[in-house]
Amino acid sequence: MSSIAILDFGSQYTQVIARRVREIGVYSEILPFSTPSQRMASYDGIILSGGPASVFSPHAPLPDKNLFALGKPVLGICYGLQVMTHLLGGKVARSNKREYGRSILHIQIHEKLFAKLPDTIEIWNSHGDKVTHLPPGFRALAWTENSPHAAIAHESLPLYGLQFHPEVSHTPKGKNLLANFLLSICLCRKTWGMKSFASRAVEKIRAQVGKDNVVLGLSGGVDSSVAAALLHRAIGHQLTCLFVDNGLLRANESRILRDIFTKNLKMRVQIINAADQFLHALRGVTDPERKRKIIGRTFIQVFDEAAAKIPKVKFLAQGTLYPDVIESVPIGDNPAAVIKSHHNVGGLPKKMKLRLVEPLRQLFKDEVRKLGEELGLPKEMVWRQPFPGPGLAVRCLGPVTAEKLTILRAADSIVVEEMKKTDWYYKTWQTFAVLLPVRSVGVMGDERSYEYTIAIRSVQSLDGMTADWTRLPHEVLATLSNRIINEVAGVNRVVFDITSKPPGTIEWE
């Protein structure tokens, strides 16, 4: 299978490069910038990412220089271009001024990298330093008003560099350019796609698991659902899914899962009703972090007990994704970059010594969704909004009680129903109801009321790390407010949260 290595110099866009390459149909992997060149020899080409550093800084991240002697095509992007220039004998000039934003690229030489592109294209820049002298044997392919060396290439070796970012959507022809690099220069074949991934993954799972049984914690989220469907295709009833109903779920959650997994996909799913145990453990607890800890601990107890009853179980399956396992190393003085390990191991039953099966480890979230569709999961499941592990407990402020959960669940299902009706559901990252521990006075008919308040939280986000509140149309908000107050007993006021993240968080607790 064709594959591309992407050396990570700490750019916020490294994962975007990897996704673009895969969208073109070529498998890509992200490696730390310090990877020894021999480890890159098996790839069809190498991309050097951008990054926040300057090649002049004492801690500048520099790669193994031998990578340029592997005979493999190399594409340096932004800082990657500067690294290539610096290591191969050209000159990079320090700059205190960043060039940031759109500009026009004038292409002089179309051969290969810019094949079939017009003479001028819109591009997006974000760089400080710039190349002033090309390394020996290099020539410029394209220029911008600010730089005569906006794109460069070696005259005879397959070495290329771009000062701008072809991976971002603000460079509209960037994907064509990357496709030229992958298909005409690296001579990759389009062998990456979810159909072929599914059949390879099925073989791999069968080889790993043999005749043993596998247990999987089905949460109802996209990742565990897709992992379950994939494992089921590979090993059928050797897979048992455990779904723990902790009493903190959205309305009809057990029924929805039963319909999709048990009725339609004919999978073996055990629904464990542990609502009383969770509510008992949460009684009187108001601190959000304590709520999370109690829920995590109780989940492990319930899950372990049920998993221990499954005969011949030797494996625990998890929906760990690629962003959780990408190796990273500290870049320069940036202490934020540490070696990541996957954090998804919450339910691992220790005593049973289960081995892990993680069939989605190579995939990005958008690929998981495509795979889910490929495996026949319905759109409502594959495009579900994220839902936190501690469930409604962190949306029910103050002590969690059965009465408050009933109110919140009813309000939340109206929110989800209306968002789906108006199609806003698929345009927002998350939209949900929060029950505030505040009662206020109202009039209902001729009577005074003194009831709870529901807050509606709706945000747009790419990854949940930052978010902005959704500018929902007033008519949609009016319908939500009317329906919640008329249909949910115990609520007489609805408010809309207009806080972005930061400074707020998406969840209220």
Active site residues: 78, 165, 167
In angstroms, give the least distance from the CB of 326 to ligand XMP.
Answer: 19
In angstroms, give the least distance from the CB of 392 to ligand XMP.
Answer: 11
Contact 303, 217 (CB under 8 A): yes
Question: Does position 347 bind ligand XMP by CB under 6 A?
Answer: no
In angstroms, give the least distance from the CB of 389 to ligand XMP.
Answer: 3
- Name which position in 430, 458, 470, 492 contacts ligand XMP (CB under 6 A): 430
- Letters for 390-429 (x = contact with ligand XMP by CB under 6 A, - = none) are x---------------------------------------
Cβ of 245: how many Cβ atoms within 10 Å?
17
In angstroms, give the least distance from the CB of 292 to ligand XMP.
Answer: 5
Contact 388, 507 (CB under 8 A): yes
Structure-token pair, residue 480: 């939500």
Cα 257 to Cα 309: distance, rounded to the nearest angstrom: 22
In angstroms, give the least distance from the CB of 232 to ligand XMP.
Answer: 23
Tokens 């330093």 found at: 129
- Nearer to ligand XMP by C-beta: 103 or 320? 320
Is the CA virtual torsion 13, 15, 21, 24 positive or negative?
Answer: negative
User: b or e along 490-499 (b: 16 or more beta carbons within 10 Å of the residue's beta carbon)?
Assistant: bbbbbeebee
Question: Does position 433 bind ligand XMP by CB under 6 A?
Answer: no
Amino acid type, 100: Y
Question: Does position 505 bind ligand XMP by CB under 6 A?
Answer: yes
> Counting Cβ atoms within 10 Å, is residue 219 exposed (0-12), middle (13-18) or buried (19+)?
buried
Phi, psi values for residue 481, rounded to 5°: -60, -45
- Nearer to ligand XMP by C-beta: 342 or 501? 501
At residue 98, the 3 state secondary structure works out as: coil
Phi, psi values for residue 100, rounded to 5°: -135, 125
Q: Which stretch binds ligand XMP (CB under 6 A): 88-96, 388-396, 415-423, 480-488?
A: 388-396
In angstroms, give the least distance from the CB of 509 to ligand XMP.
Answer: 8
Question: Does position 166 bind ligand XMP by CB under 6 A?
Answer: no
Question: Does position 386 bind ligand XMP by CB under 6 A?
Answer: yes
Question: Does position 389 bind ligand XMP by CB under 6 A?
Answer: yes
DSSP per-residue codes, 261-312: IIIIS---EEEEE-HHHHHHHHTT---HHHHHHHHHHHHHHHHHHHHTTSTT
Number of H helices, E strands in the chain: 12, 20
Provide Rg for the chain, Cα atoms.
Answer: 26
Question: Does position 460 bind ligand XMP by CB under 6 A?
Answer: no
Cα 216 to Cα 194: distance, rounded to the nearest angstrom: 22
- Nearer to ligand XMP by C-beta: 126 or 298? 298
- Letters for 259-298 (x = contact with ligand XMP by CB under 6 A, - = none) are ---------------------------------x------
Number of residues that bind ligand XMP (CB under 6 A): 11
Cα 73 to Cα 45: distance, rounded to the nearest angstrom: 5
- Name which position in 1, 464, 473, 498 contacts ligand XMP (CB under 6 A): 464
Question: Does position 388 bind ligand XMP by CB under 6 A?
Answer: yes
Q: Which residues bind ligand XMP (CB under 6 A)?
A: 292, 386, 388-390, 430, 464, 501, 505-507
